Amino acid sequence: MRIASWNVNSIRTRLEQLTSWLVRAAPDVVCMQETKVEDGSFPEAALSEVGYRSVIFGQKSYNGVAIATRFGLSVDDVKKGLDGDEQDVARRMLAATIEGIRVINVYVPNGQAVGTPAFAYKLAWLERLRSELEARYRPDQQIMICGDFNVAPEAIDVAEPKKWEGQVLFHPDERAALGRLMEWGLVDAFRACHPAKEAYSWWDYRMGAFRRNKGLRIDLALVTRPLAARCTDVSIDTRPRELQRPSDHAPVVVEIADGDAPPGVAPGA
Amino acid sequence: MRIASWNVNSIRTRLEQLTSWLVRAAPDVVCMQETKVEDGSFPEAALSEVGYRSVIFGQKSYNGVAIATRFGLSVDDVKKGLDGDEQDVARRMLAATIEGIRVINVYVPNGQAVGTPAFAYKLAWLERLRSELEARYRPDQQIMICGDFNVAPEAIDVAEPKKWEGQVLFHPDERAALGRLMEWGLVDAFRACHPAKEAYSWWDYRMGAFRRNKGLRIDLALVTRPLAARCTDVSIDTRPRELQRPSDHAPVVVEIADGDAPPGVAPGA
DNA sequence: GATAACGAGG
DNA sequence: CCTCGTTATC
């Protein structure tokens, strides 16, 4: 099973790039963030044409998450939104159990700037995500939390760590919040597969950051240990970032070996 | 000599289409309208790369005219704006003497709707253009006035004349104003070459007007009789209108035989 | 149905 | 730098 995560930065604007990439990369599942579209306008038909059914949780203009799964895969126990979300809150979380794996797709708040209310909200959001794990799941289950975390875990995940240290996306408080999440029982799948590899998933549109490869690895797949044991590779596909009018994020692809998971290990809600 | 006129509807948005077309159609001169860019941001370098120098008279957001000429052609007596233009008026006229031919590039006001102040301004603008001809030129000189006139001369120039009759772009008052201009001593070069041909240069973006070929011929090249005698063909190149994200106008191309014009016939200002 | 400006968000 | 929503123009 191949599970991908991609912040598409508007699914309507990126639709052709997305469908081309699906055909070429052939993931079984793609978790998308920043779809920026209301559910009624989500391009389900275009994804259907290339063989995917969609589960969607979007809104106008901002945020929005979706999961597309190859036809034939089982999709159960869809959950839209984080526990404790207010009405009309930003739509940033969508979970489903796909072929026995609990896939939790997240678009963590950006945080805007350190010290702002948005930054506090980001930290609180990560803490709420941890609370949801504690309340609903166990670390011995087959669980992946993937998406745009808007946090780089370590200095190796930042092209210019000295410049970024203390900034939003690489601030100690954010890394601590991410660390607390992982302490529950999650492994950074990319880092587990590639302990010393320098690779990035996001490059600012400005200043030719992609051309100079000045990026950050902020798109992550965090997996429980039983699922980590099945991960055979994690890669970041930079080719879509090379196109005209790309998303600022590249897709992350996790390869998972067939599991003979005993029944009951991958719960719904 | 091949002189083209094209309302590009934003030269920055259309830059690639424009340069491709210049390479393919190889005009000696192209008069452009609705460049929609300030002179400091005009893409001179891109036109230079394909062999053209630019004379520009543009503004932010709206209007703006430019003439690009193949390197090596003589360009003299550039005139920016119509006589009597107030400061900061819409930039709609740019003239230059190119290889002895006075080329007057115009973007006639659209007129918005019949009966509005914009409509009166359009009629007055055409009258001012006639005054400028009377004040500065003689009909025995080599003169072309080309551009987006926002008026279709005759019913044959309108795909649906009954629908358009009395509307802006095909209103009797506009046609009378155009007629008065021509009475000074100008010939519609396209119609002179093709007395019975139905061809259009503009199609509304809406309602699939281009697909259904429901257009109007509002982009004209008006020439004095001595220059008309040198016109061997006039064509409208609809291929750029077929592209993705096209201008709503197609380029008009006038072919002019080499002239042994006596000195002094093509004045500056 | 295209263009543009503007301000917000990233 | 790129998206969005809005407003204005053609």
| B5-22 per-position pLDDT tens digit | 999 999 999 999 999 999
- Residue B265 placed within a domain: no
- Residue A265 placed within a domain: no
Output the six-digit token pair for A268.
Answer: 């719904």
Q: Is nucleic acid strand C under 7 Å from B16's C-beta?
A: no
Residue B241 parent element (H or E): helix B239-242
Distance A12 CA to C9 C1' (A): 18
Q: Is nucleic acid strand C under 7 Å from A62's C-beta?
A: yes
Residue B261 has pLDDT above 90, yes or no: no
Residues in chain B: 269
Residue A194 catalytic? no
Q: Is nucleic acid strand D under 7 Å from A9's C-beta?
A: yes
Nucleotide nearest to B204 (CA to C1'): C1
Angle at A80 between CA A78 and CA A85, to 5 degrees: 150
Q: How much is the mean pLDDT over chain A?
A: 95
Q: What is the CATH number of the domain that holds A177?
A: 3.60.10.10
Q: Are B170 and B161 in contact (CB under 8 A)?
A: yes
Give residue A262's pLDDT band: very low, low, confident or very high (50, 70, 90). Answer: low
- Residue A214 placed within a domain: yes
Q: What is the pLDDT of residues B173-192, one digit of tens each?
A: 999 999 999 999 999 999 99
- Residue B261 placed within a domain: no
Residue A267 has pLDDT above 70, yes or no: no
Distance A247 CA to D1 C1' (A): 11
Q: What is the pLDDT of residues A34-61, one digit of tens each?
A: 999 999 999 999 999 999 999 999 999 9
Q: Are B174 and B152 in contact (CB under 8 A)?
A: no
Identify the DSSP state of A198: -
Residue B266 has pLDDT above 60, yes or no: no
**With pLDDT > 70 as the criterion, what percentage of chain A qualifies?**
96
The predicted pLDDT at position A259 comes to: 79
The answer to whether the annotation marks A148 as part of a ligand binding site is: yes
Question: By residue range, what is the domain housing residue A14?
Answer: 2-256
* B147-173: burial string, b at 16+ Cβ within 10 Å, e else: bbbbbbbeebbbbeeeebeeebbbbeb
Q: Is nucleic acid strand C under 7 Å from B41's C-beta?
A: no
Our count of domains for chain A comes to 1
- What φ, ψ does residue B235 adopt, rounded to 5°? -135, 160
Residue whose structure tokens are 């991960």:
A231
Supply the residues of B annotated as catalytic.
107, 148, 249
Distance A217 CA to C9 C1' (A): 21
Q: Are B103 and B97 in contact (CB under 8 A)?
A: yes
CA distance B38 to B17: 20
Residue B268 has pLDDT above 60, yes or no: no
Q: Is nucleic acid strand C under 7 Å from A120's C-beta?
A: no
Burial zone of A52 (CB within 10 Å; 0-12 exposed, 13-18 middle, 19+ buried):
buried
- Residue A229 placed within a domain: yes
Residue nearest D2 (alpha carbon to C1'): A205
Q: What is the pLDDT of residues B119-157, one digit of tens each?
A: 999 999 999 999 999 999 999 999 999 999 999 999 999
3-class secondary-structure state, position B256: strand
Output the six-digit token pair for A168.
Answer: 């939003």
Identify the DSSP state of B208: G
Give residue A75's pLDDT band: very low, low, confident or very high (50, 70, 90). Answer: very high
Determine the straight-line distance between the first and last CA of chain A, rounded to whole angstroms: 22
Comparison of pLDDT for B262 and A137, the residue scoring more = A137
- Residue A197 placed within a domain: yes
Give residue B267's pLDDT band: very low, low, confident or very high (50, 70, 90). Answer: low
Residue whose structure tokens are 């035989």:
B257
| Parallel/antiparallel/unpaired status of strands A29-33 and A2-7 | parallel
Output the six-digit token pair for A91.
Answer: 């739509």
**With pLDDT > 90 as the criterion, what percentage of chain A qualifies?**
92
Q: What is the pLDDT of residues B219-242, one digit of tens each?
A: 999 999 999 999 999 999 999 999
- Residue A263 placed within a domain: no
- Residue A138 placed within a domain: yes
Q: How much is the mean pLDDT over chain B?
A: 94
